[in-house]
Amino acid sequence: MGDLALVGDTLEDYAQRGIFQGFSRQQQGRQRGEFRVLWHRGQLFQWNWDGGKRSLRIACVLPGVPAKSSMYRQFKAWLKERQDPALPAHRQCDPDKLTLKTYNRGGDVALTMQLLDADTEYGVRKLVALVNEIYLDFLSSGLYFDWLVETFDLDPDKPW
């Protein structure tokens, strides 16, 4: 099985287990593919695999975050901490196996994982776990309550 198929099958496995609320894939050549995942807060996440670069990019993992905001600075620091060897293996993104990069374009925070070895499945699974941690750990600190309410049009008086 090629890497493109492995990426798609790994993501589809999450959808079949009910982790994602929706999933689709579209091949864009021999080494490129686009995957759409319906997930946290009903967001549609667009994942792009580039086999030539061995990278998986999420076009917008956090919407509406100004590039010069403290939230974006804190997110970059939090992301860097995910590669700290002191973290338990199940929470760490091994820096010998992948790199993580974030970009902010017009307030949409993109996240890219580039593989440094041949373990494509490891990279995909770590990226899924990382995005989940963004929503369940990074955003749950209470610092971003107003951002969550505004971005996802939540009722601040009801539990979510």
**Confidence at residue 6, expressed as pLDDT on a 0 to 100 scale:** 97
Residue at 145 is within a domain: no
In a domain, 131, yes or no: yes
Residue 43, burial from CB neighbour count under 10 angstroms (0-12, 13-18, 19+): middle
Average pLDDT of span 150-159: 78
Asked if residue 124 belongs to a domain, the reply is yes
- Summarised one tens digit per residue, pLDDT across range 67-80 is 999 999 999 999 99
Secondary element (H or E) of residue 13: helix 3-16
pTM to 2 decimal places = 0.92
Confidence of residue 140 (pLDDT cuts 50, 70, 90): confident
Residue 112: which H helix or E strand, with range?
strand 108-115
- Cα dist. 40→24, 44, 52 in Å? 16, 8, 29
Question: Considering the domain boundaries, does residue 89 fall inside one?
Answer: yes
Greater pLDDT, 83 or 142: 83
Q: What residues make up the domain containing 84? A: 3-140
The mean per-residue pLDDT over the stretch 109-117 comes to: 98
Q: At 61, which CATH number?
A: 3.30.1460
The pLDDT value given to residue 159: 63
The pLDDT score that the predictor gives to residue 155 is: 77
**Vertex 117 angle, CA 111 and 62, to 5°:** 10
The β-bridge relationship of strands 44-50 and 55-62 is antiparallel
Give the total number of structural domains in the chain: 1
Is residue 75 a part of any domain in this protein?
yes
pLDDT of residue 150: 87
Alpha-carbon separation of residue 27 from 34, 35, 38, 51, 64 (angstroms): 6, 9, 18, 12, 29
Task: Please provide the average confidence, as pLDDT, over all residues in the chain.
Answer: 93
Is 159 a member of any domain? no
Mind listing the pLDDT tens digit for each residue in 35-56? 999 999 888 999 999 999 999 9
Is the residue at 112 inside a domain? yes
Query: Rounded to an integer, what distance in angstroms lies between the CA atom of residue 64 and that of residue 84?
Result: 27
| 10-31 pLDDT, tens digit each | 999 999 999 999 999 998 888 9
126 pLDDT more than 60? yes
Task: Specify if 36 maps to a domain.
Answer: yes
